[in-house]
A and B are shown apart, each in its own frame.
Chain A
């Protein structure tokens, strides 16, 4: 692997940058692998990386039906935080957050993880109760989270409107200082480059069309648009297409996909210092390194794989942004887009074995999967390698929907992920 550094940039500059090699190898599929990861997004590429790096399993392929990281990895608003309510959830996201903190060095790829802090703004007495419960619960779990008064909130994020006379005044905010944002594409590319260097085959434009199993039911490989590939184990990390892929093995999942839309403004000079989330009025916003205000909208209500939704959804979000940050009323929407979110009934993910031997699934991340990328990848790799979950992801089974042991972040906190 070509080391990335200021020094290597300077040296390559002298060679007019003709010496850079592909960041990951372009390969033709081998007939057989120990493990196939279905889905070349951040989670899948990361799982392959950790399988190779931490579990010594290098005969691995990642198959991606389109271009790497072209799904939700490419479409999210890049918020990273771990201040979830339930201990099971916050442990999982905190595991990810800790990995984020060292990821650029780990991968020798600047993923631009920027710990700018995330404010969750309270607008009602109920919000205050819920967010304070978050603060206390997180602190007990060893996760930073603090309560700010409206004035402290304003000091941390000056553009916010904390006037008491608006429709939903700001009554305070929970602040996680270690939260922030990262450069979404870079995470996937960094994992791809590092995994490829460890021998992982990364195969783009290769859609899985079937899952092969032996008479005992155990998986033996996949059928793809580039031919059959044998595999001892298959890990599905296909986000919005998880139901489609798992159906190939006869498994129905507790998932419903919905469009989720997001947008950016035209770029402006630095004007917004942190991430702000407001669940009550449905808005979240941060400013990217390029200067664009990155704004997440709500989900459309219906099942759709079209990667688009109705304009009334982002319009409603912009109403909220204009209330929260009235100075931004004259900024302009530059680009908007939609993704396919795979939502479980309790809005918590599944990272688990399935009922089919040799088949594993990491899905159900809904609107919040990006922040978990290294954590989910890391624990999914563990689960596949050892054929059993790590204690952190042990509660995140498919069976919890049968048992009733849900981890209901949405109902509990009414917080947008």
Chain B
């Protein structure tokens, strides 16, 4: 079970959180092309390496936040607020 460091509440067990998928995917306006809409809705990098992802502290403060986690090791490298840019942590596992 992962240990997730909610930026608002501190480290908590994974079962308090809901996963939110890849981060930094902005929802486009309703007049975009089918390709752009598909990219927003369905296409994912599915990164093997450091992935920016969203979590929601569903059974805690309820807030969404972003995290950087290496999907090869499950090690977290950063937790940061929604709307802030992705921190640079390189590609270190």
A and B, direct touch (CB closer than 8 Å): yes
From A244, which residue of chain B is reached at the shortest CB distance?
Answer: B48
Q: How many A-B residue pairs have CB under 8 A?
A: 67
In the bound assembly, the distance between CA atoms of A311 and B37 in angstroms comes to: 37
In the bound assembly, the distance between CA atoms of A271 and B79 in angstroms comes to: 49
Evaluate contact between A312 and B1: CB separation under 8 angstroms: yes
List residues of chain B with CB within 8 A of the CB of A362. none
Most buried by A among B18, B19, B37: B19
Q: Is A241 an interface residue, CB under 8 A from the partner? A: yes
Residue-by-residue, is A309-331 near B (CB-CB < 8 Å gives 1, otherwise 0)?
01110000000000000000000
Minimum distance in angstroms from B66 CB to a CB of chain A:
13
Looking at chain B's contact residues, is the secondary structure mostly helix, strand, loop, or mixed? mixed
List residues of chain B with CB within 8 A of the CB of A306. 71-74
Evaluate contact between B44 and A252: CB separation under 8 angstroms: yes
Evaluate contact between B48 and A301: CB separation under 8 angstroms: no
B27-71 at interface with A (beta carbon < 8 Å): 34-35, 37-39, 41-48, 51, 53, 69, 71
List residues of chain B with CB within 8 A of the CB of A402. 34-35, 37-38
| Contact residue among B14, B71, B72 (Cβ-Cβ distance under 8 Å from A310) | B14
Evaluate contact between B2 and A303: CB separation under 8 angstroms: no
A248-263 at interface with B (beta carbon < 8 Å): 252-257
Evaluate contact between A241 and B44: CB separation under 8 angstroms: no
Q: Is A7 an interface residue, CB under 8 A from the partner? A: no
Minimum distance in angstroms from B77 CB to a CB of chain A:
14
Residue-by-residue, is A394-417 near B (CB-CB < 8 Å gives 1, otherwise 0)?
000000011100000000000000
Evaluate contact between A253 and B73: CB separation under 8 angstroms: no
From A258, which residue of chain B is reached at the shortest CB distance?
Answer: B19
Residues on B close to A: CB < 8 A? Answer: 1-2, 14-15, 18-19, 21-22, 34-35, 37-39, 41-48, 51, 53, 69, 71-74
Residues on A close to B: CB < 8 A? Answer: 241, 243-244, 247, 252-257, 301-306, 310-312, 345, 401-403
Other A-B pairs, 15, CB within 8 Å; known A243-B46, A303-B22, A303-B47: A243-B48, A252-B39, A252-B43, A252-B45, A254-B43, A256-B46, A302-B2, A303-B46, A305-B71, A305-B72, A306-B73, A310-B1, A310-B2, A312-B14, A401-B41
